Structure 1
Amino acid sequence: MRGGKGIVVLLALSVLVGAVGCGQQADIRAPKSEKAQEAVAKARRFDPAVLRADTPEAIDAEFAARLADKRKAAEKLYREEDGKRILKHKFGETELPDAPVRIVCIRMEDPMLALDAPMVAAYDFPQYYLHDRLAARGIMRISINDENKTINLEQVQGAKPDLIVMRDSFGKGVYQDLAKIAPVAAFDLRDYERSLLALSMVLQRPADGEVRLLQFYDRAKRDRMRIKGAIGDSTVALLRIMNKEVRLYPYATNDINRFMYELLNLRPPQMVVDIDGNDANNAISLELLPELGTDYLLINAGFGPSSRQNSAVARKRFEAMQRDPLWQSVPAVRTGRMDVVNAMIWNAHGIISKEMAMDALADWMEEHGQ
């Protein structure tokens, strides 16, 4: 009977590993194609093998260069010619109205609030990290169906906008439908700093955009010095728990955690560096996790504002993972240097969400540092 029970336990464990692992046997550290290596070289703002200084002077120099780059990138999106104001975006170009008053905002609430810009309607829901700020302004709610990525056009039309500001993560058909109602300014919010500056140009408030971005960099500088004072050059990695797989996010080629390494100068473990430019989606099997070798491990178990219905499934998956002996062998788990971050905030894009993520991380690191 004992032997039979042992077989059952082993079978159950193998099922659990299959359930919480990525389902792929390929090593995500495998050599990358030449094209992928070129993409990695382009994406890396800093060499992960080179230690960077964390003095106020060094950080100020870094962020000054970053601001100059973001300003130049934003200026490529916006131009004025023949008395017209034009924004270039994923779907084409939009001729912008002068001094728009009735602005409808769709998934660009973060930069709009960061600029203290007026909105007559915006995307919102009770669990949204921006809900309290939007509700305090009495802004009309625009509904979005996350299953099929559609927007309630009747609500948009009812707001009588003279400008619609939207994130470009929707399909072209959605953009075209909105453009029939009012001019649409679309932005790639994954590059939240460039989008903030470009949005400030669209709103004819470019100086406000730079001032707000400088405030953001000051916040990043403060949190960076707090974190590095607590953990020094210890390594930090982010693991994303999703519905059907677990992903280890790379050093420079992921929009969710790039700020950790670029703005906060956190040190990546070698595996995180090695998977940069991986041709797959960075899904990792539990068997590889003990080799991760990171001093601190951050867990992102859930989804952001656009896929919140899947978060409960991701959290249950993480609960199952924590019962697996393989999980208990992960170094950062054994030492208690693991933090479960707020998925809604970490998976969002915008300087407000990043400020919230950085502040919370600095608080935790000061408490759990070496």
Structure 2
Amino acid sequence: MLVAVRRQFREWARSREPMIPAGFSWTFVVIIDVTMVAIGLVATLQRPMSDWPVALAAIVVAFMPWVLFFVFNVCKYEGPALWAAWMAGTAVLLFATSTPVRGDFAPLLLTLTVGVVGAITSKLGGFLAATSAAALLIGAAAAHRLGTPELYLAFLGIGWLVGYLIHVQRQLLIEQQRTQAELAAHAAADERRRIAREIHDVIAHSLSITLLHLTGARHALEHGGADAAAVDALRQAEELGRQAMSDVRRTVGLLDAGNESLAPEPGVEDIAGLTDDFIRAGLNLTAEIRGSYQNVSPAAGLALYRIAQESLTNIAKHAPASSSSLALVISAHEATLSVVNDVDGAGVLPRTARGRGLNGMEQRIEIFGGTVHAGPRGDGWSVRAQLPLDTAR
């Protein structure tokens, strides 16, 4: 019960928490408050004690937006409200006190007004604030409530310049934050696509070989084959199913950045074992690998492995009875992977659809500046990937 009450109180406090404009910090707000209090106290002490109630009332008027904003959370932290309150408070200090004050600090509130409004709103907002403040100073000087306003007008100019510079810096900061948020979103989307591609490759490969084993077992049982062959096929399917689950757990584990116990990713040297898996599962496949694995970086090797895996998986899925071949040639500067199968009535391959597999191949190979071509070849299908090794290392 107590925990629920605390949670509700935190949610209420969070909903009541005032929000400052984007690009500002609470340090900026505190500095403005302290400066405003200092100017108001000095302006009050400069006046006779009989004028102190009026001066304090002017300070209350100037602080009204802050009270509404921080205490009651009914007023937004906006330039127009601050401008109206600070202009009114300054006017009360200049016109409602009994005698003019030499070296009065009250007009410095106008400098603060111009600077803050210009920083919060826009160039036009800062200009209008500076114009209205100058008009108030000139009016006070004409009413003999203020000495020569030249010095105060110079302070207004400084306030407008500071506000303009803060406004520019604030816009740059907002743009930087927006850019960082977009980059973070793109990075997260890329990571999701990468993990989805890995999961797709792992599951499709493992399930395709499993189905080949199950198909072999079914044929052995249907046609009176040896029980040992059927049992062996089922056993291999069972083992591969467990391996598939382990691979899925490992791939999904990539989401955990702190997990350092993951098994290494497959590389180009694992393509031979990949082809052996498909051959043992019953796929009519011939494989030829030439060249040194040392010329292939781990990242490039993973790309080649996944392309080979996806290509063989598609053959096992769409034309398991067809004959196929895989050739990998590795030279000093290039690796070429070719996977070809001849259907010849043994199955049907998709000829127009672009699924996740083909898109994944292109994304992997383009990272290294390579190319991949996949499409019909006579009665079958061909996949050919070329990867420049000098740029992949």
Please classify the TM superposition score into its range, dividing by the shorter chain length: under 0.3
Task: Give 1 or 2 for the bigger CA radius of gyration.
Answer: 2
Structure ranking higher in helix proportion:
2
TM-score of the two chains, using structure 2 as the length reference: 0.19
Structure number with greater CO (CA < 8 Å, separation at least 6) is 1
